[in-house]
Amino acid sequence: MRYLLLIFMACTSFTALAHKPSDSYLAMSVDGNEIRGHWDIALRDLEYALGLDANDDGQIIWRELRQRQAAVFAYAFNRLEITADQQHCALQPLTMMVDEHSDGRYAVLNFQAACRPGVKQLEIGYQLFFDLDPQHRGLLTIHNGTYTGTSIFSPAQPQQTFALNSVSHPGRELLNFAYEGVWHIWQGFDHILFLLSLLLPAALYHEHDEWRAKQNHILVFWDALQVVTAFTLAHSITLSLTALQYIALPSRWVESAIAASVICAALNNIYPVLSRHRTWLAFGFGLIHGMGIASVLLDMGLPASQRVLSLLGFNLGVEAGQLLIVAAALPLIVVFSRSRYYPALVLKLGSASIAMIALVWLVERSLDFQIKIG
C-alpha cells in the first residue's frame, strides 16, 4: 500500500509545467572580420530574470520592453562571450524586435561583433539563465560562407569552439541533436503524461466493469509494445513532416490538442470506452504530439541543408528518451498491478489527477494565459 501511494504521488507530482522547456535561439553569420547575429530570448524568461512587466498585469507590451531595452542587452551580453582566434570580440547592440515562436513571444536582440580579419576559429562562451534555470538550453546556428554549424549550450557545455574553415562534422551534430531530443522528451511533461496514461492499464484487462490483472507477462509486454510503437510511428511521421515544413498548424491549436489528448487518455482509464483500442488512441493522438515535438527544430530556423541531419538526430534522441521512460515505468506497473488497490488508487485516482493537470494546460493554452497555482 505504501509503495502504491508513492506511485500515485509520482503520477501526480507533475506541476503545471505546461510549456516548452526554456530555450534561446542564437544565430550568427561571419563575414570577414564582422559577425552579425540575432538572439531570440523568451519574454517569460526575461521577465523572470529582469522583471519587465512594469504594471504587473501579466502582459509584457512593447513599451515595457522598449523601456528596458538597455537592461536586456546588458543582461544578455554579460552572459555571452565571443573570442576569435583568441582575441575578444566586442559585442555591439543594434536593434530589438519581438517575434512569435511556438511557445510565445521572444525578444529578438540584433547585434554585431567586431573581430580580427580572417577569422579561423571562434570560441563562444554562453551563460544565459544557467544561474536561474539549470535546464535552460542555448541553441546556436552559425554560418560562414559554405560552413554551417549547429550546437547546443548547456550548464555542462557552456563553452564551445568552431573551426570556421573546416567542414561541418555530421557525427557531432547528429549526437548534439540526439542529446537534445532525449532532453526534450524528458522535459515534455505533456508527452510523458500521455504515454504514462496509455501504459497504466497495460498490465490489466477490463471485464464485467472491473479491471483485473493480466497473469501472462508476455501479454503485458505485447500490449505495451503495440502502444509505444503506435505512438512512436505516429509522432515520427508528423515530427518529420512538420520539421521539413510540409505541414504547419498554429502552435496554439497543436499545444491545446496535445493537452486535450492527455485528458482523453487519462479519462479512458476511468471510463474505459476504448480500453481495447488504446493502440489506435496512441496513433491518432501521436500524430498531434509529433507536431508539438517539432517545435524546437522549427524555432531554430535551420537552413534546408541542415534539416534532415538535425531531424534524424533529434528523432533518434526522442525515441531513446521515450524508451528509457517506458523501461523505467513498465516494470513498476507490472509489479504493483498485482495489488488489489492498484486499479482504484493508481489507475483511476492517478488518471484523474493527470486529467486535472492537463485540463489546466488546456485552459492556459487555448486561452493564452497562465493560471497561477499556489
pLDDT, tens digit, 9 for 90 and up, residues 55-65: 888 788 899 99
As given in the structure block, the three cell numbers for residue 353 are: 489527477
Look at the block and give the residue holding cell 509503495: 3
- Sign of the dihedral through C-alpha 197, 198, 203, 206: positive
Judge whether 82 and 121 are in contact, CB under 8 Å.
no
Look at the block and give the residue holding cell 574553415: 165
As given in the structure block, the three cell numbers for residue 110 are: 540584433
Q: CB 189: neighbour CB atoms within 10 A? A: 20
Residues 6+ positions from 337 with CB-CB distance below 8 Å? 203, 204, 213, 214
Judge whether 286 and 197 are in contact, CB under 8 Å.
no
Confidence of residue 137 (pLDDT cuts 50, 70, 90): confident
CA distance 220 to 230: 16
* Cα 81 versus chain centre, distance: 26
For residue 342, what are the CA distances in angstroms to 2, 101, 325, 357?
Answer: 11, 41, 20, 21
Judge whether 195 and 201 are in contact, CB under 8 Å.
no
Phi and psi at residue 23, in whole multiples of 5°? -135, 150
In the chain, % of residues over pLDDT 70: 90
CA distance 299 to 243: 10
Q: In what order do the strands lie in the sheet with 23-31?
A: 147-153, 137-144, 23-31, 34-42, 104-114, 87-101, 80-84, 121-126, 159-163
Quote the DSSP letter at residue 168: P
Predicted TM-score (pTM) of the model is: 0.71
Pick 27 or 21 by higher pLDDT.
27
CA nearest to 282, candidates 330, 229, 324: 229
Is the pLDDT at 339 greater than 50, yes or no?
A: yes
Confidence of residue 374 (pLDDT cuts 50, 70, 90): very low
Look at the block and give the residue holding cell 504514462: 196
The pLDDT assigned to 371 comes to 58
Q: Give the total residue count for the chain.
A: 374
Judge whether 268 and 275 are in contact, CB under 8 Å.
yes
What's the pLDDT tens digit per position in 225-271? 999 999 999 999 998 898 888 888 888 889 899 999 999 999 999 99
Instruction: Give the largest Cα separation in the chain, rounded.
Output: 78
Q: What is the DSSP string of 108-156?
A: EEEEEEE--SS--EEEEEE-TTTTT-TT-EEEEEEEETTEEEEEEEBTT
The overall average pLDDT reported for the chain is 85
Judge whether 239 and 293 are in contact, CB under 8 Å.
yes
The answer to which of 156-160, 169-173, 340-344 has the lowest mean pLDDT is 169-173
In the chain, % of residues over pLDDT 90: 41
Three-state DSSP at 107 gives strand
Residues 6+ positions from 353 with CB-CB distance below 8 Å? 8, 11, 12
